[in-house]
Amino acid sequence: AQRVTQPEKLLSVFKGAPVELKCNYSYSGSPELFWYVQYSRQRLQLLLRHISRESIKGFTADLNKGETSFHLKKPFAQEEDSAMYYCALNFGKSTFGDGTTLTVKP
């Protein structure tokens, strides 16, 4: 069955520190993976997707098929990065992980 796991519910780092939000998936086909972000009182927004291999707001994510992971990374966290982050697997419809709340402290 398709499944997305985000093992950390909460993650707290200091400003300027590196941050990594973990995401593991299970899917028998070729996965399409996304990261979405939800800032306080705002709608979900697409942050990035693996097929475009882009860097948005300093975040990157690499698909590792061997480890079935799609971890989100940023070398230097900023306070405005504080938000809820969801990893999602798309196979026609999307399955979301439970989300990780990132808090970046000053």
Partner 1 sequence: GAVVSQHPSRVICKSGTSVKIECRSLDFQATTMFWYRQFPKKSLMLMATSNEGSKATYEQGVEKDKFLINHASLTLSTLTVTSAHPEDSSFYICSARIGGSGNTIYFGEGSWLTVV
Residues in contact with partner 1 by the rule CB under 8 A: 32, 36, 42-46, 49, 51, 86, 90, 93-99, 101
Smallest gap, in angstroms, from Cβ of residue 97 to partner 1? 6
Running DSSP on this structure, what letter comes out for residue 66? T
Q: Which is nearer to partner 1, 15 or 94 (CB)?
A: 94
Cβ contacts of 96 within 8 Å, gap of 6 or more: 4, 36, 86, 87, 88
Beta bridge partners of 101: 10, 84
The CB-of-45 to partner 1 minimum distance in angstroms stands at 7
